[in-house]
């Protein structure tokens, strides 16, 4: 395997949107021998089969059937999410103002809005085109800096550094992308699709799009001794990468009894309620179908399987920030570079409990890894993850873990190089092989 840090940086750079993350994940799975399953076909599966399915281009489930039916072997599942906060283009985006061309955007998820200012932004996503017999959707990525949301000069807001920056999402976040007469975005999409896919379509053939901004600056290793990673979308592509790499690395030489699963969901940053999010029947349905597809099915298979199954929900964790250390619970201050973090919340914003946290710590020990712990301050709210949502939807015992990071939900985040491999190792030992 190539260096896992270098590989993570390339995974992130190839994945500016959830759709691209799923396409890149599918590419890696296919290279490792996994075959695509279609949701609209009857599945037929045997021990050792490596399959993946994609729903609505934003979510992906990959699995390898174990040596026995999942009803008898259970599932070991790693879950993560493919989406990240960003700015999404509105359906009627073209704005002319004071000689500039701008695009109307709507923040997606809990963005740190100010981090999108003065950055070299591009546009990526998917475009649905008129077609026979049905419309079809293509991925698109402009892959060059075409947008910018400029800061206002200090001279025009003298009190800024004392009073703090207040951004109105409607008024202050529209990126500039040109001067004077510019064709509408739909026409630009058509010419970009022509360049990227050699297809000839008309602007009137663009029926709809899901487009979002991203920073074109490539991911880098940074810090005096290469301690850090600076990249976009570490939350949560770093965990998608860890889960996928562990699954692919688990190989097929030794087949465990249990079925290995990796579930990568869209829409975590907006609450997971969608047809392909963690609150959807996607995973439960796929698990049930994998049982039915096995030697004619098994009576009460799903319930029997789930009673011996575990989910590790992997999402990035808040490392202590040296300039804001008081925002952390004094006894629970994870540090970048010191390995995986177990996240606990008594009110079930994280799904970890004694059994599942113990299981994760038990996986760490033989690898010489001492897990860190995160608990929110009791007087501060707690974020959540796909962990408790999937646990409730599927009924599977779950632990919430993740690697420590800073600048979470920034346009450009920060994590530790030394944390990449240990998480992959723990997940690989969970999945077996």
Residue 213 has which token pair?
């901004």
Strand order in the sheet with 220-222: 220-222, 228-231, 413-416, 404-406, 317-318
Q: How far is the CB of 383 from Zn ion (least distance, A)?
A: 8
CB nearer to Zn ion: pick between 265 and 294: 265
CB nearer to Zn ion: pick between 235 and 419: 235
Phi-psi region of 143 (alpha: psi -120 to 50; beta: other; left: phi over 0): left
Q: CA-CA distance, 27 to 329, in Å (whole number)?
A: 41
210 sits near Zn ion (criterion: CB under 5 A): no
Q: CA-CA distance, 135 to 243, in Å (whole number)?
A: 33
CB nearer to Zn ion: pick between 74 and 416: 416
266 sits near Zn ion (criterion: CB under 5 A): no
The answer to whether 145 and 122 have CB atoms below 8 angstroms apart is yes
The answer to whether 397 and 355 have CB atoms below 8 angstroms apart is yes
Q: How far is the CB of 214 from Zn ion (least distance, A)?
A: 16
Q: How far is the CB of 115 from Zn ion (least distance, A)?
A: 16
| Among 147, 95, 141, residue whose Cα is nearest residue 119 | 147
Footprint of Zn ion on 74-133 (CB under 5 A) = none
CB nearer to Zn ion: pick between 55 and 318: 318
CB nearer to Zn ion: pick between 235 and 413: 235
Distances (CA, A) of 381 to 316, 328, 345, 347, 349: 17, 12, 10, 11, 10
Q: CA-CA distance, 119 to 297, in Å (whole number)?
A: 53
Size of site (CB under 5 A) for Zn ion: 3
Distances (CA, A) of 185 to 19, 122, 265: 20, 13, 29
Taking CB atoms within 8 Å and a gap of at least 24, the contacts of 129-132 are 129/193, 129/201, 129/205, 129/206, 129/207, 130/201, 130/204, 130/205, 130/207
CB-based contacts of 272, cutoff 8 Å, min separation 6: 265, 278, 279, 280, 386, 389
CB nearer to Zn ion: pick between 210 and 235: 235
Q: How far is the CB of 270 from Zn ion (least distance, A)?
A: 11
Place of tokens 């201050």: 333
CB nearer to Zn ion: pick between 266 and 315: 315
Q: How far is the CB of 215 from Zn ion (least distance, A)?
A: 18
CB nearer to Zn ion: pick between 65 and 389: 389
Candidates 140-148, 192-200, 230-238, 299-307; binding stretch for Zn ion (CB under 5 A):
230-238
Q: Strands 372-374 and 259-265, how do they pair?
A: unpaired
Q: How far is the CB of 230 from Zn ion (least distance, A)?
A: 18
What are the φ and ψ backbone dihedral angles of 303, each rounded to 5 degrees? -65, -40
236 sits near Zn ion (criterion: CB under 5 A): yes
235 sits near Zn ion (criterion: CB under 5 A): yes
Q: What string marks each residue from 292 to 331 as x (binds Zn ion by CB under 5 A) or -?
A: -----------------------x----------------
Q: How far is the CB of 137 from Zn ion (least distance, A)?
A: 25
Strand order in the sheet with 310-314: 35-36, 50-55, 59-64, 259-265, 75-81, 310-314, 397-402, 341-343, 372-374
Candidates 4-12, 150-158, 229-237, 256-264; binding stretch for Zn ion (CB under 5 A):
229-237
| Count of beta carbons in the 10 Å neighbourhood of residue 273 | 11
Q: How far is the CB of 79 from Zn ion (least distance, A)?
A: 11
Q: How far is the CB of 268 from Zn ion (least distance, A)?
A: 6
The answer to whether 267 and 72 have CB atoms below 8 angstroms apart is no
CB nearer to Zn ion: pick between 80 and 250: 80
CB nearer to Zn ion: pick between 230 and 409: 409
CB nearer to Zn ion: pick between 57 and 315: 315
Candidates 38-46, 106-114, 213-221, 233-241; binding stretch for Zn ion (CB under 5 A):
233-241
49 sits near Zn ion (criterion: CB under 5 A): no
Q: How far is the CB of 402 from Zn ion (least distance, A)?
A: 8
| Among 346, 377, 360, residue whose Cα is nearest residue 422 | 360
Q: What string marks each residue from 147 to 176 as x (binds Zn ion by CB under 5 A) or -?
A: ------------------------------
Half-sphere exposure of 183 (CA within 13 A, CB side): 10
Q: How far is the CB of 60 from Zn ion (least distance, A)?
A: 16
By CB under 5 A, name the binding residues for Zn ion.
235-236, 315
């Amino acid at each position: 395997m190539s260096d896992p840090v270098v590989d993570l940086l390339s995974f992130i750079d190839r994945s500016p949107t959830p759709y691209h993350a799923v396409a890149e994940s599918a590419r890696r799975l296919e290279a490792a021998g996994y075959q695509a399953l279609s949701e609209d076909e009857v599945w037929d599966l045997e021990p050792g089969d490596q399959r993946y399915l994609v729903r609505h281009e934003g979510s992906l489930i990959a699995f390898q059937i174990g040596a026995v039916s999942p009803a008898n072997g259970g599932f070991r599942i790693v879950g993560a999410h493919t989406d990240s906060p960003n700015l999404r283009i509105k359906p009627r985006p073209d704005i002319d103002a004071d000689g500039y061309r701008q695009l109307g955007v709507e923040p997606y998820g809990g963005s740190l809005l100010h981090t999108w200012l003065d950055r070299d932004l591009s546009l990526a996503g998917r475009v649905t085109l008129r077609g026979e017999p049905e419309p079809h959707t293509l991925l698109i990525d402009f892959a060059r800096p075409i947008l910018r949301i400029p800061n206002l000069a200090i001279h025009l807001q003298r009190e800024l550094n004392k009073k703090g920056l207040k951004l109105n999402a409607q008024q202050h976040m529209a990126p500039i992308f040109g001067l004077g007469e510019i064709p509408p975005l739909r026409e630009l999409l058509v010419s970009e699709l022509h360049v990227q896919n050699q297809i000839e379509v008309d602007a009137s053939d663009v029926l709809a799009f899901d487009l979002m901004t991203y920073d074109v600056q490539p991911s880098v290793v940074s810090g005096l001794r290469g301690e850090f990673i600076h990249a976009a979308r570490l939350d949560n592509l770093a965990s998608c990468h860890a889960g996928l790499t562990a699954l692919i690395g688990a190989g097929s030489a030794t087949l465990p009894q249990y079925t290995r699963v990796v579930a990568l969901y869209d829409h975590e940053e907006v609450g997971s309620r969608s047809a392909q999010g963690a609150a959807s029947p996607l995973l439960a349905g796929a698990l049930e179908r994998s049982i039915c597809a096995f030697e004619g099915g098994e009576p009460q298979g799903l319930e029997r399987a789930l009673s011996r199954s575990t989910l590790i929900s992997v999402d990035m964790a808040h490392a202590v920030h040296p300039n804001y250390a008081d925002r952390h619970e004094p006894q629970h201050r994870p540090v970048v570079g010191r390995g995986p973090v177990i996240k606990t919340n008594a009110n079930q914003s994280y799904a970890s409990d004694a059994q599942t946290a113990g299981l994760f710590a038990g996986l760490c020990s033989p690898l010489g890894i001492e897990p860190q712990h995160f608990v929110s301050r009791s007087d501060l709210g707690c974020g959540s993850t796909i962990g408790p949502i999937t646990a409730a939807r599927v009924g599977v015992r779950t632990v919430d873990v993740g690697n420590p990071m800073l600048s979470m939900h920034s346009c450009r985040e920060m994590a530790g190089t030394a944390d990449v491999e240990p998480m992959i190792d723990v997940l690989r030992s969970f999945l077996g092989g």
